[in-house]
Amino acid sequence: MSTATPQKFEFQAEIKQLLDIVIHSLYTEKEIFVRELVSNASDALEKLRHTQLTEKDILDDKAALEITLTTDDKAKTLTIQDTGIGMTRDELVENLGTIAHSGSKAFLKALGEGGAKNSNLIGQFGVGFYSAFMVAKTVKVYSRSWKAGEPGHVWSSDGSGSYEIEEVADLSRGSKIVIELKDECSEYAQDGRIKDILERYSAFVSFPVNLNTKHINTVTALWLRSKNEIKDEEYNEFYKFQSHAYEDPSLRLHFSADAPLSINALLFVPQENTEKMGLSRLEPAVSLYCRKVLIDAAPKDLLPEWLRFLKGVVDSEDLPLNISRETMQDKALIEKLNKVITKRFLKFIDEEATQRPESFAKFYAQFGIFLKEGAALDFTHKDQLMKLLRFESTLTDKTKSTSLPDYVTRMSSEQKEIYYLVGANRAALESGPYLEAFKARNLEVLLCYEPVDEYVMNNVREFDGKKLVAADHADVKLTDIPKAEGALSEDDTKTLTTWLKESLGDRVAEVKASDRLVDSPALAINADKFMSAHMRRMMKAMNKDGADMPQKVNLEINPRSAVMKRLFETHALAPEKAKLVAEQILDNALISAGMLEDATQMVARLYKLLETV
Ligand code: ADP
Ligand code: MG
């Protein structure tokens, strides 16, 4: 549809919300809007370069691919023009009037989740185009699509609820953004101020950038330069430019390789894990280049999924030169790249862990969850990833952690398995009955507090040829330790366990004497092979189906405990009372195991028992 008169549109509600936040000074560093607009211009040029590979009928096909900024001190305007892909009328509405694109969407989602209070969180997002409204009275976007036959338009808005679109004659291909600055932001109409800003990062733009007819940047790909020539600030500026970040990265890895593939890679780990903050799943963000030319800004298979938190650039000369996003089907090549980079990154993290444990701990606190995901799901890198995992253990101090290789060095020659126990926290696990047996035998148990740990351990199954075994699993077999004095005899124990099974009926699958107990009178073991007690608790908490199936419980008793010796006497003399005691012992054991699902009967019974005292 072509219209001669301006047409007015309302911004989508989310955009209004976003604009409101942007305009009311979310960012102290207003100058980032220049970076955002230059980066959009660069994206538009990059898209045109790709379009040229496949399309013939391109408007102004011979126009140079470049970005031009113009300041006008008197009129207080800043103009940013590109010869990129441009936008049709519909695209103007779609791209600038709705929240269809990723950066701002994630930002809003974060705000919706209470992120506005977290200034760190805000630092994780670029609000892209809308950042112009931090400094603008009005913004006009003149744009003409590369599609020959599409007319040009001007989109304009003052950042309050609406915008207008009007057809404009005689535009050349690309976009020209004219910002009429607020009085207090007139500094951005000065050549010197913009030059300062551009000099910091325009070198990372792979197209010529001009300011007031002067050429500003020499296009040098930072990742192709030699490491010892590059300053930290240059790396940090590049990271911020490339990943739209507002903070420096926490780690970086810059490396090159010649065999089996020629690779130059520059990878960054951000400060924070936004997934951990409850935001949406991260998308791949390491861009793929071939000799400085962008092939794909977000290739899906360049890295394994668990490395989706990485930012940066991979450049390989071995990619076919004319490759485009659509034709990037050379799976084998991408797989090879994937392998080399992943291996190199793992080595880097491993060095970090051994040589700079504090830095590693900081990394692990944020991104350890991704290492766990990898250990559970990435069969190729499982072993290396397992080495990087950290857990507290019964031998570490609170909040200090240990690794599986370290655990293994502490194993005695008789110990064949690696033990772990999953639960909410250290106190909960230590007050439970499961650890005593291991303590008594000097066996170390890893203490796992994260919900995914159980899944990871189940998937991994073994480390260094040793089985990973849950300490509360029914199948755990521990070596005998000498029987303490004064325990019930074997016959008496047998009588008692048989009686207990009869008295408790269906509530227990099996009752037997325990070789795990040292101090506690009894413990309950979840005998369900398919569902651990911890998993059951989680399912219950989430109201999942299956959580209310009857539980299968084994009761193990301690023939050395005074309670059991007394019960053995009582069961013959006062069977009614003994039955109440037996029920109570089972409930106590279930409580310790976190498996008691309904305490009402227990309370009633306890009063009955108290009457008999
Ligand atoms: P992002 O760059 O993260 O997608 P922006 O808010 O910066 O988000 O831009 C929104 C969208 O507007 C872009 O995805 C793009 O489609 C379009 N756009 C912005 N600037 C330009 C431009 N100079 N040329 C063509 N399209 C543009
Ligand atoms: Mg952008």
What is the per-residue DSSP string for 97-118? Answer: HS--SHHHHHHHHHHHTTGGG-
Nearest to 463 by CA among 412, 395, 388: 388
Per-residue confidence band for 555, with pLDDT thresholds at 50, 70 and 90: very high
Q: Which of 334-338, 503-507, 598-602 bottoms out in mean pLDDT, i.e. has the lowest?
A: 598-602
> Mean of the pLDDT values across residues 556-571?
92
Q: How far is the CA of 213 from the centre of ligand 2 (A)?
A: 24
Rounded Cα distance, 243 and 289, in Å: 15
What single DSSP character describes residue 380?
G
Check: CB of residue 389 under 8 Å from CB of residue 403.
yes
Q: Three-state SS string across 228-246, please?
A: HHCCHHHHHHHHHHHHCCC
Distance 48 CA to ligand 1 centre (A): 13
Structure confidence at residue 326 (pLDDT): 45
253: nearest Cα among 200, 300, 333, 313: 313
Residue with the bigger pLDDT between 107 and 69: it is 69
Tokens coding 326: 């659509």
Locate the ligand 1 atom nearest the alpha carbon of residue 40 and give its number. 20
The strand ranges marked E within 258-298 are 263-269, 285-290, 293-296
| Ligand 1 atom closest to residue 47's alpha carbon, by position in its atom list | 25
Q: What are 499's two structure tokens?
A: 């009686």
* Residue-level pLDDT at 330: 67
CA–CA dist 548, 564 (Å, integer): 31
The candidate with the shortest Cα–Cα distance to 392, out of 342, 349, 428, is 428
- pLDDT score for 528: 75
Provide the pLDDT for residue 320. 67
pTM: 0.74
Least reliable range by pLDDT among 77-81, 299-303, 359-363, 464-468:
299-303
314-356: pLDDT as tens digits: 999 887 655 554 455 567 888 899 999 999 999 999 999 999 9
Query: Which CA distances in Å does 431 have to 425, 427, 519, 597?
Result: 10, 6, 12, 19
Q: Determine which of 75-79, 152-156, 300-304 has the lowest per-residue pLDDT on average.
A: 300-304
Spatial separation of the C-alpha atoms in residues 194 and 133, rounded to whole Å: 17
**The predicted structure's pLDDT at residue 32:** 82
174 and 141 Cβ atoms separated by less than 8 Å: no
Q: Is the peptide bond before 6 cis (omega within 30 degrees of 0)?
A: no
Residue located via tokens 């194993």: 411
Q: Is the pLDDT of residue 527 over 50?
A: yes
Residue 343: burial class (beta carbons within 10 Å; 0-12, 13-18, 19+): middle
Dihedral of CA atoms 450, 452, 453, 457 in degrees, nearest 10, equals 180
Cβ–Cβ < 8 Å for 174, 86? yes
Tens digits of per-residue pLDDT, 421-465?
998 899 989 888 889 889 888 899 999 999 889 999 999 999 999
Local structure of 72: helix, strand or coil:
strand
Q: Residue 180 pLDDT more than 60?
A: yes
Q: Which residue is it, tokens 């219209």?
A: 3
Give the model's confidence band at 121: pLDDT under 50 very low, under 70 low, under 90 confident, else very high: very low
Q: What is the mean pLDDT of the chain?
A: 87
Q: How many CA atoms lie within 13 A of 504 on its CB side?
A: 25
Q: How far apart are CA 216 and CA 80, in angstroms?
A: 14
The three-state secondary structure class of 254 is strand
* Surrounding residues of ion ligand 2, Cβ less than 5 A: 40, 128
Rounded Cα–Cα distance for residues 378 and 200 (Å)? 39
Q: Which ligand is nearest to the CA of 101?
A: 1
Ligand 1 geometric centre to CA of 582 (Å): 71
Ligand 1 centre distance from Cα of residue 42 (Å): 10
User: Which ligand 1 atom lies nearest to the CA of residue 244?
Assistant: 3
- Cβ atoms of 291 and 263 within 8 Å: the answer is no
Beta strands in 440-561 (DSSP E): 445-448, 462-463, 466-470, 510-513, 522-526, 553-557
CA–CA distance, 165 with 540 (Å, rounded to integer): 54
- The binding-site residues of ligand 1, defined as CB within 6 angstroms of any ligand atom, are 36, 40-41, 43-44, 82, 84-87, 95-96, 101-104, 128-129, 175
Token pair in block for residue 516: 């795990």
Tell me the C-alpha to C-alpha distance, in Å, between residue 153 and each of 30, 41, 72, 93. Answer: 28, 17, 23, 11
pLDDT of residue 478: 79
pLDDT band at 123 (very low <50, low <70, confident <90, very high): very low
According to the model, what pLDDT value does residue 17 have?
Answer: 82
**Chain segment 216-270, per-residue pLDDT in tens:** 987 678 999 999 999 999 999 999 888 888 889 999 999 999 888 899 999 999 9
What is the Cα–Cα distance from 11 to 157, expressed in whole angstroms? 10
Residue closest via CA to ligand 1's atom 20 equals: 40
Q: How far is the CA of 125 from the centre of ligand 2 (A)?
A: 11
Which pair of structure tokens corresponds to residue 225?
């330069």
User: Which amino acid, 43?
Assistant: D
Residue 411 CA to ligand 2 center (angstroms) comes to 54
Among protein residues, the one with the nearest Cα to ligand 1's atom 17 is 95
Name which of 131-135, 298-302, 528-532 the model is least confident about.
528-532
The pLDDT score that the predictor gives to residue 13 is 85
Bridge partner residues of 288 (DSSP): 296, 314
Residues sharing a CB contact under 8 Å with residue 611, sequence separation 6 or more, in sequence order: none
Q: What is the pLDDT of residue 50?
A: 85
pLDDT at 474 over 80: no
CA 461/CA 33 separation, integer angstroms: 50
**Which H helix or E strand runs over 584?**
helix 575-592
Task: For residues 67-75, give the mean pLDDT.
Answer: 97
Distance (angstroms) between ligand 1 centre and the Cα of 234 equals 25
Mean pLDDT of 100-121: 56
Report yes or no: 156 and 139 within 8 Å, Cβ to Cβ. Answer: yes
Quick check: 565 pLDDT over 50? yes
Taking CA atoms only, the protein residue closest to ligand 1 atom 3 is: 103
Query: What integer pLDDT is reported at residue 359 of this predicted model?
Result: 96
Tokens of 3: 């219209």
Structural domains of the chain sorted by starting position, each given as residue range(s) with its CATH number in brackets: 7-215 (3.30.565.10), 222-383 (3.30.230.80), 389-481 (3.40.50.11260), 485-528+546-613 (1.20.120.790)
- For residue range 188-206, what is the model confidence (pLDDT) as tens digits? 999 999 999 998 778 788 8
pLDDT above 90 (res 296)? no
What whole-number distance in Å separates Cα of residue 34 and Cα of residue 45? Answer: 17
CB atoms within 10 A of CB 116: 13
pLDDT at position 105: 66
Pairing relationship of beta strands 418-422 and 7-10 according to DSSP bridges: unpaired
> What tokens were used for 223?
């990742």
Tens digits of per-residue pLDDT, 575-586? 999 999 999 999
Residue 355 buriedness (CB in 10 A; 0-12 / 13-18 / 19+): exposed
Average pLDDT of 96-108?
A: 68
Q: What pLDDT is recorded for position 6?
A: 92
Residue 481 in this model has a pLDDT that exceeds 80: no
| pLDDT band for position 118 (cuts 50, 70, 90) | very low
Rounded to whole angstroms, the Cα distance separating 498 from 512 reads: 8
Using one digit for the tens of pLDDT, what is the confidence trace for 381-409? 999 999 999 999 999 988 899 999 999 99
Ligand 1: which residue has its CA nearest to atom 8? 128
Distance CA 449, CA 391 (A): 8
pLDDT recorded at residue 119: 45
Classified as helix, coil or strand, 310 is coil
- Nearest atom, ligand 1, residue 82 CA: 23
